Amino acid sequence: MISAERIPNNVGLSSNKRLQRALEHWQPKYIQWWRDMGPQGFQDYHQVYVRTAVSVDPSGWAHFEYVKLPEYRWGIFLADPVHDRRIGFGDFMGTPVWQEVPGEFRNQLRRLVVTQGDTEPASVEQQRWLGQRCPSLYDLRNLFQVNVEEGRHLWAMVYLLHSYFGRDGRDEAEELLERQSGNRDKPRILDAFNEPIENWLDFFMFTMFTDRDGKSQLLSLSESSLDPLSRTTRFMLTEEAHHMFVGETGISRILERTCQLMKGAGYSGDVRKLGGIDLETLQKFINLWFSLSLDLHGNEVSTNAASYFANGLKGRAYEEKWDDHKVTEAMYELELLAEGKLERRHIPMRTAMNEVLRDWYVGDCQAGVTRWNRILERNGFSDRLRLPDRKFNRGIGMFSAVHFDPEGHQLSDADWDRRKHEWLPSVTDREYLMSIQAAPVYEPGKFANYIAPPQRGIKGQPVTFEYVRTEA
């Protein structure tokens, strides 16, 4: 029997028998999925110091305690309603937001919820082996915090499917547990969520760049005319911020350590000889995860994106900051590939909404890379990390037909094949990373050689705190 204690929520679950029954039916399958596909080796004997959302006010969602992962209380939360909220953009601008799904947009909205929902369990699956190679208990705990919150995001989307999409929604909720990251027959919907995350550099870059695509998508869904979707995604954004913190500071700490090692070797040594991660490798992983995450924003020119905007299903990031919310006349200038040649063209902005969101995303990523470069600067290095051109290594959109180098110069297929490992991780790079991550670090306060300790611990605890403990 499900109680509010077991599933913390602010959606009145105990007074909604139909929903309660539907979730009672789904929950055991979720727990089985978590055991099969969640953190491997950390199900029964480990207690993790995690944050559990027990309400939406700031004191309630920052509740910390030790829990065994399968006993985590995955809750359902909607951000507080906005009084008299009106649709803020598109053709229905100014009319009241919807509390139910209009029949004519049912398929489109279901697709949006399912696509978002599919990414949540996918990332848990991708990351399930990382606990066996963790650089510290602090990092292990952060990994699990991200994992349980992605699990909660799945709950959030399943709540929407069960509450607003009837029988189809229930079927979709089942399928969210059936597709599997990287599975050849039943893969996850989006490519970046089928890529393996086998080492901690992948993990930090994923949380920096791919979770930031999550932020892009959640920002645009939080503008939605469908009020329950808007309120659900608004609350998810608070958790997403922590995931990006894990990624950005993880790389910052690796950079800090790399600088120390380079300085120790008289500014000239081969960092790999000292067991560190060299700047070239960091740059390759930026190139990989940034380009994969750019793809998640979709085609440059998209009639779907135009219709999502026109119908108020998906807005722009921070829609209120724009002057024109109807966007019926506005044009947008973008670089595109026409008959094999690059050129700049103006197209109706509504059809460029994916590109508009991608612009926001690139700017947000760039700010993070600039912060990383300050570490190099402070340590007296002239090297800099950078984002590759957005045409580089694309698998979706018009630039996927041709190859480009990280500066955006077009390349022949032969040149690309010959040179791609100058820019993307090679087998040797991956083997090296696995070699320095072969032994996990489970001793409180100790850190792997390639990463510096964080500046502070979690929730006022010292860095030496036992963030994950094993039951005797």
Say how far apart CA 130 and CA 134 lie, in whole Å.
6
CB-based contact 129:121 (threshold 8 Å):
no
Kind and range of the H or E run holding 310:
helix 303-310
What are 302-305's contacts with CB under 8 Å, separation 24+?
A: 302/351, 302/353, 302/354, 303/351, 305/350, 305/351, 305/352, 305/353, 305/354
Residue 214 or 298: the one with the smaller Cβ distance to Fe ion is 214
What are 460-463's contacts with CB under 8 Å, separation 24+?
A: 461/49, 463/138
Stretch that binds Fe ion, among 69-77, 235-243, 416-424, 454-462 (CB under 5 A): 235-243
Does 394 help bind Fe ion (rule: CB under 5 A)?
Answer: no
Does 118 help bind Fe ion (rule: CB under 5 A)?
Answer: no
Does 195 help bind Fe ion (rule: CB under 5 A)?
Answer: no
DSSP secondary structure string, 46-74? EEEEEEE--SSSTTTS-EEEEE-GGG---
Output the six-digit token pair for 148: 């349980």
For the bound state, the minimum distance from the C-beta of residue 368 to Fe ion, rounded and expressed in Å, comes to 15
Does 133 help bind Fe ion (rule: CB under 5 A)?
Answer: no
Residue 217 or 225: the one with the smaller Cβ distance to Fe ion is 217
Say how far apart CA 218 and CA 234 lie, in whole Å.
7
Does 316 help bind Fe ion (rule: CB under 5 A)?
Answer: no
Stretch that binds Fe ion, among 27-35, 108-116, 214-222, 417-425 (CB under 5 A): 214-222
DSSP secondary structure string, 363-429? HHHHHHHHHHHHHHHHTT------PPPTTTT-SSSGGGGSEE-TTS-EE-HHHHHHHHHHHS--HHH
Stretch that binds Fe ion, among 71-79, 242-250, 308-316, 361-369 (CB under 5 A): 242-250
61, HSE (Cβ side, Cα atoms, 13 Å): 21
What's the one-letter identity of residue 403? Answer: H
For the bound state, the minimum distance from the C-beta of residue 215 to Fe ion, rounded and expressed in Å, comes to 8
Residue 13 or 218: the one with the smaller Cβ distance to Fe ion is 218
For the bound state, the minimum distance from the C-beta of residue 78 to Fe ion, rounded and expressed in Å, comes to 16
Does 243 help bind Fe ion (rule: CB under 5 A)?
Answer: yes
For the bound state, the minimum distance from the C-beta of residue 295 to Fe ion, rounded and expressed in Å, comes to 17
For the bound state, the minimum distance from the C-beta of residue 244 to Fe ion, rounded and expressed in Å, comes to 8
DSSP secondary structure string, 131-156? GGG-S-HHHHHHHHHHHHHHHHHHHH
Stretch that binds Fe ion, among 21-29, 52-60, 208-216, 387-395 (CB under 5 A): 208-216
Residue 214 or 312: the one with the smaller Cβ distance to Fe ion is 214
For the bound state, the minimum distance from the C-beta of residue 93 to Fe ion, rounded and expressed in Å, comes to 29
Write each residue from 145 to 164 as x if it is in contact with Fe ion (CB under 5 A), else as -, in one continuous string: -----x--x-----------
For the bound state, the minimum distance from the C-beta of residue 223 to Fe ion, rounded and expressed in Å, comes to 18
Residue 9 or 258: the one with the smaller Cβ distance to Fe ion is 9
Say how far apart CA 402 and CA 392 lie, in whole Å.
9
Q: Which of 92, 127, 287 is closest to 200 using CA atoms? A: 127
For the bound state, the minimum distance from the C-beta of residue 126 to Fe ion, rounded and expressed in Å, comes to 12
For the bound state, the minimum distance from the C-beta of residue 144 to Fe ion, rounded and expressed in Å, comes to 13
For the bound state, the minimum distance from the C-beta of residue 455 to Fe ion, rounded and expressed in Å, comes to 22
CB-based contact 252:449 (threshold 8 Å):
no
Residue 179 or 243: the one with the smaller Cβ distance to Fe ion is 243
Residue 176 or 337: the one with the smaller Cβ distance to Fe ion is 176
Exactly one of 139, 202, 211, 389 binds Fe ion (CB under 5 A); which one?
211
Q: What is each CA distance from 145 to 39, 138, 194, in whole angstroms?
A: 11, 11, 21
Residue 116 or 311: the one with the smaller Cβ distance to Fe ion is 116
Output the six-digit token pair for 226: 């469908």
Output the six-digit token pair for 276: 């560190």
Residue 243 or 314: the one with the smaller Cβ distance to Fe ion is 243
For the bound state, the minimum distance from the C-beta of residue 269 to Fe ion, rounded and expressed in Å, comes to 36
Say how far apart CA 208 and CA 255 lie, in whole Å.
14
Residue 4 or 56: the one with the smaller Cβ distance to Fe ion is 56
Stretch that binds Fe ion, among 18-26, 144-152, 390-398, 433-441 (CB under 5 A): 144-152
Stretch that binds Fe ion, among 6-14, 118-126, 374-382, 388-396 (CB under 5 A): 118-126
Stretch that binds Fe ion, among 8-16, 85-93, 240-248, 448-456 (CB under 5 A): 240-248
Q: What is each CA distance from 28 to 23, 40, 79, 114, 404, in whole angstroms?
A: 9, 18, 26, 20, 47
Binding-residue total with Fe ion (CB under 5 A):
7
CB-based contact 7:73 (threshold 8 Å):
yes
Q: Which residues form the interface with Fe ion (CB under 5 A)?
A: 120, 150, 153, 211, 214, 240, 243
